[in-house]
Amino acid sequence: MEKVFHTLKPVFDEKSRVLILGSIPSPVSRKNGFYYAHPQNRFWRVLSAIFNEPVPDSADKKRAFLLDKKIALWDVISSCDINGASDTSIKNALPNDFSLIFRSADIKRVFTTGKTAFNLYLRFTGETPSLLPSPSPANCAVPFDTLVKAYSEILLYL
């Protein structure tokens, strides 16, 4: 079990209309300095599919993609104890300060990428987000097309 602190800045601006929250960046994402950096994670491929655009191939292009699409991206947890990237091992989770985003942007809907983020957001805020299936390689039982269909709900709020 390792004590992990969230080191990635949230991606948002005043035009953001949806907020997508994961749990906490994986070791690969922390090492690479941007969200969903594991090559087998399907997050960027799914978002690209719902907008019918090429997958952005750098952190700067991913950030620009999100802002262009009015999507804010962050995580629920500011720090926790965790084994590797296993959300099921998370203990002692503390929340990020979501007011940073809500003060600046008119967020219409909050989405979480998986049950851990969903449950923690609900616990920390008392508000129920929309649950999206995790794009993690650990959730490979969910087919790509199913992810695309689920994530398409985002389009309703942009």
Please state, rounded to an integer, the average pLDDT across all residues of the chain.
94
Q: Which residue has the higher pLDDT, 121 or 1?
A: 121
- C-alpha 33/C-alpha 35 separation (Å) is 7
pLDDT of residue 18: 98
Q: Which of 32, 41, 96, 119 is catalytic?
A: 41
Termini Cα distance of the chain: 39
**pLDDT (0 to 100) of residue 131:** 97
pLDDT tens digits, one per residue of 59-107: 999 999 999 999 999 999 999 999 888 888 999 999 999 999 999 999 9
Q: Does this model's pTM top 0.85?
A: yes
Question: Quick check: 10 pLDDT over 80?
Answer: yes
Structurally, the chain folds into a number of domains equal to: 1
What pairs with residue 131 in β-bridges? 112
For residue 52, indicate whether it is catalytic.
no
Is 90 exceeded by the pLDDT of residue 20?
A: yes
pLDDT in tens, 121-142: 999 999 999 999 999 877 778 8
CA dist., res. 80 & res. 6, Å (int): 9
Three-class SS string for 93-155?
A: EEECCCHHHHCCCCCCEEEEECHHHHHHHHHHHCCCCEEECCCCHHHCCCCHHHHHHHHHHHH
- Whole-number pLDDT of residue 85: 81
Q: What domain range includes position 137? A: 2-157
In the predicted model, is pLDDT for residue 22 greater than 90?
yes
Question: At 43, which CATH number?
Answer: 3.40.470.10
Q: Which residue type sits at 62?
A: K
**Cβ contacts of 128 within 8 Å, gap of 6 or more:** 122
